[in-house]
Every structure is written in C-alpha cells, then in structure tokens.
A and B are shown apart, each in its own frame.
Chain A
Amino acid sequence: MIRFENVTKVYDQKSRPALDGIDLEIDRGDFTFLVGPSGSGKSTFLRLVLREERSSSGDVYVAGKNVARVPSWRVPRLRRGIGVVFQDFRLLPNKDVFGNVAFAMQVIGKSRYLIRETVPEVIKLVGLEGKEHRMPHELSGGEQQRVAIARAIVNKPGILLADEPTGNLDPATSVGIMNILDKVNQNGTTVVMATHDDDIVNSMRRRVIELADGRVVRDEKSGEYTAMIPVVNADGTRELKPAGEVRVASAAGSQAIAPFDSEEDEL
C-alpha cells in the first residue's frame, strides 16, 4: 500500500537529511506505528506519503502509484485515498460535529443525499451518536479527536495517517481513540500512526517502525515502543515489568516536550 524505495529527503543542504535512504513497505490492511524522537523523520515520512513534499531521491509509492509521477492536478485525487488525523484535531470551530464531518464530503462534491446517508454512520462508528449538533468547543478532547477521525474516514480512504493522535489526550481517552483506530483498521483501512506514546505501542502489539536521525533503526512485526533498552528476557520472552523503570525513564526524556511541538503544523 505504501512503499519507500531508498527515499532520501533533504530540506536544507547544510544539515543532515530528514530521511536518509529509507526502504520499507507497508501492506494493505496493516496497522503500523512510526516511533522515534522528535526530528527523527516521522512527520517527513507522512508528508511524503501525502505528497506535501517530494523526495529528494528515491521513489514513494502510494496505492501502487509513484507519487512523484502524479501530475499536480491529480494530487487531490491521490489525497482522497488518504485520511489524516492530527494531534491538534483541526476541527472547524464554526461547524458542528455533523458539519465538520460533512465538510470533507462537501468539498469533493459528494451529493447531499450521500452525505446525509454516510455521515451519521461514521459518527456512530466513532461513538458520537447523539452529539451531531454539538460545536467543537462543547466537546472534550477525546470527542474532538473522534470527530477528526470521522472526518478522515468519511470518504473511505484506503490509508489513514495519524500524526500523534493521542498526543493531547490523557491515557484513558487515548485507549478509546486507539480502539476506534483499531476498528477502522479492521474495516480494511491501512493505518500508519506516528506516536510518542509508549504505553499505547506496547499494548497494541502491532508492527513498529522506529526512526532515528532519518534512518529506520528497527522494524518489528509486533514490537514495542523502544528497542534501545533490551526488554527481552534471557529465555526469549518479552516481559515489560522488569524493564519498566528503565524504559519509562528514557521515554520520558523524549516525551516531555514532544506533545506540544508544532513541527507538524504545516501538514
């Protein structure tokens, strides 16, 4: 579904590349975590998939198409196949829940009938039935993120990109959001989620791709948040508990400011 072939992205010739020779493939229906400290290239990865940026070298394939070869007037069509969710929700403050979700259909010219049909279904899927006419400021953070997810999936994209979707939410709310993303994934959508939240990654046991300084340093089928600290016991089983203290200490270091960084704002 998403394939990177030796992709390098350089923003500024003088500094090191944001992505440096990335080779990886994410299959249809996968649920993949993208982890790594700030500046490791997670956002650049997502921007390349969205064709917000073009790779400096190497090819990015999304749904079988080389995005560099997609002419600019076809880019909107490409993006219709990709849903995006952000840390800061990005809802329209002057539209209610229904309006925010419907907006994604209106702007691509879907019929009023189809909108009336589809939007309530999706709102129900994210667990917001009965709150269609609330305004965003009348919702909690978790509910706002649910609206954002509903908006991202209402056009039934094949891929859902989530950039720190739980970054502004408390752990309990985050679990709710993850359950929704899981449900979306089970409906067949490929989900790629960039995150700093180790608890979530560890509890989900999904594929983990770890980036550091623009390189893939780890790619595990059902991994945990970090491999920097060995958490595998001598007998080969994974045990979280003994490594817990060590891991939390190191993760906290990279997480302290991360949820508030704004490098993704442009996206």
Chain B
Amino acid sequence: MRLAFILSEIGSGLRRNLSMVVSVVLVTFVSLSFIGGAALLQMQINQMKDYWYDKVQVSIFLCADNSSSQTCAAGAVTDEQRADIESKMESPAVAQYVESYQHETQDEALTHFQDQFENSPIVDTVTADQLPESFRVRLVDPEKYEVINELFSSMTGVDVVVDQRELLEQIFSIMNVASLVSLGIAGVMIVCAVLLVATTIRLSAFSRRRETGIMRLVGASKLVIQLPFVLEGVIAAVIGAMLASGALWAVARFFIEGQLAQQYPGTAFIASSQVWVIAPVLVILGALLAGISSMLTLRRYLKV
C-alpha cells in the first residue's frame, strides 16, 4: 500500500513538473555523456598501451625491397648486414643498454600483425613481404633511445630506427588532453545538473507543500514524505544516464566501429561492447548525484 502510494506520488510529481524533469534528464544526459566519453578515451588509450607498451620500445626496421632511405640504396637487407647488426647488438658497448632484443622476420611480423588486428578486414589483404623485417629492442633505460638511434640508423641495411614509445606517447598525450577537456566540460555540466536537480526538487516541494503539510500533520514518516521527491530526482537522473549510455554506445558502434575502424584499419579501436562497462557506472553516478543533491535540498526546503 505504502509503496503503491509512493509510486503514485512520484508519478504525479513527475507529471506536474514535466519541463523541469526534462531539463534534468537532458543536463544529466549531456554531463554523463562527457564523463563517459572521457572514460571511453581512457579505455582506448589503455587498449593501445596494453598492446604496445612493454612489448617494444625501439624498433630497428631493416631494409626491404621497396625501402627508400639512403642506407637502403643497395636494396633489401642481406644476411651479412643482418649478422653485422646482430653482432653490434651483442657488443659490450651496446649490450649495456639493451635488456633484450628479438629478431622479427617478415613471417613473424605478419603473425604479429594478424594478432593485433584480428577484428579488422585489412588482415586478409596483407602479406608477409609487405611488412619489414625488424629487430625489436627492449632497452634497460628507455630514455637511452638516442644512443641506439645513433649507432644503428647509419648502418647499411637499416631502414629506420623508431622509438615507438615516443610515437605512442604523442598520440596518448593528445588523447589524454582530449579526455581531460571532456572531464572539464563534464565537471561544469555536473555542477549544472546538481543545481538543476536542487531547483527542481525545490519547485516540486513548493508545488506540493499542501500535500506535504497534510502528510506531516497526520503523522506521515519522514521517509514517506521525502522519498517521492528524492526518487523524482533520481529517476530523472537515471533516465539521463541511460540516454548517455545509449549515446555512447551509438558513437562506439556506428562511429568508431562503423567508420573509424574501417578507415584506419591500422589502429586498434575499442569495441562497442566496452560501453557496457561504463554504463552502470554512469547510472550509479547519476543516481548518487541526484539523490544527494535532492536530499540536501529537502533538508533545507521541506520541513518534516
């Protein structure tokens, strides 16, 4: 009985305050979308980091038939050149910087590539001879990349020395900035959402002061009086959070999976299913924000 009563109170409150409720829904929707967006970006960064970091820090790409750098003028790397590079790697001058190194043949590069992009259609079109042979070097101190670069980049048979960490870090830092900006916007929007929930609840409490006054007089408990208001805010925020989750899923599904992943098959993108990790967090966050702000508002504006 009491539950049915509270539910009907919530229903009438939501109807009576429809425009405010809609604005709460929209503001939480936008703010939580930004939070979710930031989270997705972080997931994307982690996805790339997981794969790349700790695997390779410096790649020494060897000349292939179609390499164009000066050191490759003689065409593809020969066995002799390869042995030279390897012996230099073993030499005490270099070995002190190198923790481990690994030679990757073109076939291995292909397997590697196929692992990395198993979801991408490009896998089927790439063949081993399109991928360069390389030495993958893990440094004792990643900062000493310059030493390796100087020593190897001028050797014949070496196409280019790449510190992949540096490349990745640039991308990551851009993405980090983007996610920080997104969080900043989300922060402002959340302040808006909290204040709007407070105003909505205040308005709702004001428009129902007759009911609450009578409820107080006939001895309704604090819970029965306040719960409909709190739940009103929470329901609006949860709807907003669900919309935000839906929007993020749509972006991941149709933009990232549907477009970016097609256009840039060389990059590992997050899958739309990963949005379902974020969605519950957004819903809980929205509910908490609305609940706390409406409870604080009620404490001031609804005498019990």
Contact = CB atoms under 8 A, between A and B. Distances in A.
Contacts of A111: 1
B142 interface: no
A155 B220 CA distance: 12
Interface string A216-256: 00000000000000000000000000000000000000000
Nearest to B208: A92
Given A90-B210, A90-B213, A92-B211, A107 B222 contact: no
Contacts of B211: 92, 103
B273 interface: no
Interface residues of A, number: 26
B271 to A, nearest CB: 48
B214 A79 contact: no
B214 A76 contact: no
B1 A104 contact: no
B219 A80 contact: yes
Interface string B224-258: 11000000000000000000000000000000000
Contacts of A79: 216-219
Given A92-B210, A92-B211, A151 B218 contact: yes
Contacts of B213: 90
A50 B218 contact: no
A151 B219 CA distance: 12
B219 A155 contact: yes
A104 B5 CA distance: 12
Contacts of A104: 214, 218
B5 A76 contact: no
A110 interface: yes
A84 B210 CA distance: 14
Contacts of B215: 107
Contacts of B299: none
A73 B220 CA distance: 11
A112 B211 CA distance: 19
A92 B208 CA distance: 10
Interface of B: 1-2, 5, 210-211, 213-222, 224-225
Nearest 8 A-B pairs (CB), nearest first?
A80-B219, A107-B220, A79-B219, A109-B2, A104-B218, A76-B219, A107-B215, A106-B5
